[in-house]
Amino acid sequence: MEKRRFPTQKVKMQLMALSGNKCAFPGCEESLITESGNTIGEIASIESMSPGAPRFNPSKTASELLDADNYILLCPNHHCLIDKEPEKYSIDWLRAAREQHLKNITKLLSKPESETKVTTSVSLSKAVEVWSSERENSSEEFWQNLFESCPQLISQAFPKSMYQLGSKCYVGGKSWTNTGGNLVDFIYLNRLTGNIVLVEIKTPKTKLLGKKYRNNAYSISEELSGSVVQVLNYKEQLMKELYQLKDDTFSAFNPKCVVIAGTLESEFKNETQYKSFELFRNNSAGVEVLTYDELFQKSKDTLAIAN
């Protein structure tokens, strides 16, 4: 019996990006990313390669049916609905629904910046301007969109040549009920080696330090320590399920992890706070902690050199 084949991680990421992380069923548009960062979206085949499955098409090859054009991203309810009523939700119906959804997403992304959140390509200099006016913004979604729109913001902080491979990337962790999957905020790829970096972002308002400990030290905040553990958990899950997840796009040789959170300038008031923070992050094996003001200062330095 031929082993069942599944779409590659690259195809899944492409479909998520094209669909705007929303259900493509007409009139639904449910967000498929929860507030905690978990995905509830399901990839449905328009034409199936399995006999007996809804909308089976024996005339198509497996390679044709594994292409991104043969999939539609849906919420669990509508995925169940189209498979239970394949006569009503035919191949032609699903293709038309998918096409209209992609047109709607494209139209949304083409709106002027004043009408929607940052979603189109943003230059490094424009991103620095956004930082100057939005540094008090505590919306993680806002910063997720800015980093996605300006990939060089994060990539220029790495010493190696890196580019943004994807955002809200699935790194494994689903249970047998197909729930509980882990999504890391960004994956960056080394252009030369193919190795990756996992990036977890918080907001500029994320607290870095906790309470003062005796007279010469501060504890690390729950938010920051939790973020470090979270990204390490993503790394562990990725390495466990690498065989199922990877394709020819990337490799994972003990991948580095990065957490972007908080600001030094707004929180730190004395040398003891700086010392406590530096001791923590310089001894956090496998995880680099960057603050927002450090990241944007690097961007300003990069622009100054270019000019």
In a domain, 231, yes or no: yes
Q: Are residues 87 and 126 in the same domain?
A: no
**pLDDT category, 113, cuts 50, 70, 90?**
very low
pLDDT (average), residues 144-161? 86
- The last residue of one of the domains, among 86, 109, 132, is 109
Q: Are residues 236 and 277 in the same domain?
A: yes
For tokens 């249970």, name the residue.
175
Q: Are residues 82 and 170 in the same domain?
A: no
The top-scoring range by mean pLDDT among 52-61, 118-127, 193-202 is 193-202
Q: Please report, for the domain that includes residue 177, its CATH number.
A: 3.40.1350
| 60 pLDDT above the threshold of 80 | no
In a domain, 115, yes or no: no
Alpha-helical runs (H) found in the chain: 9-18, 62-65, 76-84, 91-109, 124-134, 140-149, 152-155, 222-240, 242-245, 264-267, 271-282, 292-306
- Determine the pLDDT at residue 71: 87
- Determine the pLDDT at residue 54: 86
Report d(CA 189, CA 210) in Å as an integer: 33
- The last residue of one of the domains, among 109, 140, 174, is 109
Q: Are residues 95 and 140 in the same domain?
A: no
In a domain, 3, yes or no: no
In a domain, 254, yes or no: yes
**pLDDT category, 67, cuts 50, 70, 90?**
confident
- Determine the pLDDT at residue 19: 74
In a domain, 1, yes or no: no
- Determine the pLDDT at residue 255: 87
Q: Are residues 158 and 244 in the same domain?
A: yes
Q: Do 279 and 218 contact (CB within 8 A), yes or no?
A: no
- Sign of the C-alpha dihedral computed for residues 228, 233, 236 and 239 taken in this order: negative
Q: Are residues 102 and 196 in the same domain?
A: no
Per-chain mean pLDDT for the chain: 81
Q: Read off the pLDDT of residues 74-85 as tens digits, 9 standing for 90 and up.
A: 888 899 999 999
Of 104-108, 120-124, 235-239, 262-266, where does mean pLDDT reach its minimum? 104-108
Q: Are residues 105 and 160 in the same domain?
A: no
Of the two residues 13 and 126, the one the predictor is more confident about is 126
In a domain, 152, yes or no: yes
The residues with which 289 forms a beta bridge, in sequence order, are 259
How far separated are the first and last CA of the chain, in Å rounded? 62
Q: Are residues 90 and 191 in the same domain?
A: no
- Determine the pLDDT at residue 231: 93
| 294 pLDDT above the threshold of 90 | yes
- The last residue of one of the domains, among 83, 109, 135, is 109
Burial class (CB in 10 A: 0-12, 13-18, 19+), 184: buried
Q: Are residues 297 and 160 in the same domain?
A: yes
Of the two residues 272 and 160, the one the predictor is more confident about is 272
CA 66 distance to own-chain centroid: 23
Of 9-18, 70-79, 108-117, 154-163, where does mean pLDDT reach its minimum? 108-117
Domains in the chain, number: 2
Of 40-49, 114-123, 135-144, where does mean pLDDT reach its minimum? 114-123
Model pTM score: 0.60
- Determine the pLDDT at residue 177: 47
In a domain, 279, yes or no: yes
In a domain, 78, yes or no: yes
Q: Are residues 251 and 129 in the same domain?
A: yes
pLDDT (average), residues 39-51? 82
- Determine the pLDDT at residue 16: 72
The residue segments making up the domain with residue 276 are 120-306
Report d(CA 105, CA 93) in Å as an integer: 19
Q: Are residues 57 and 92 in the same domain?
A: yes
Of 74-88, 104-118, 270-284, where does mean pLDDT reach its minimum? 104-118
- Determine the pLDDT at residue 15: 72
Q: Are residues 168 and 217 in the same domain?
A: yes
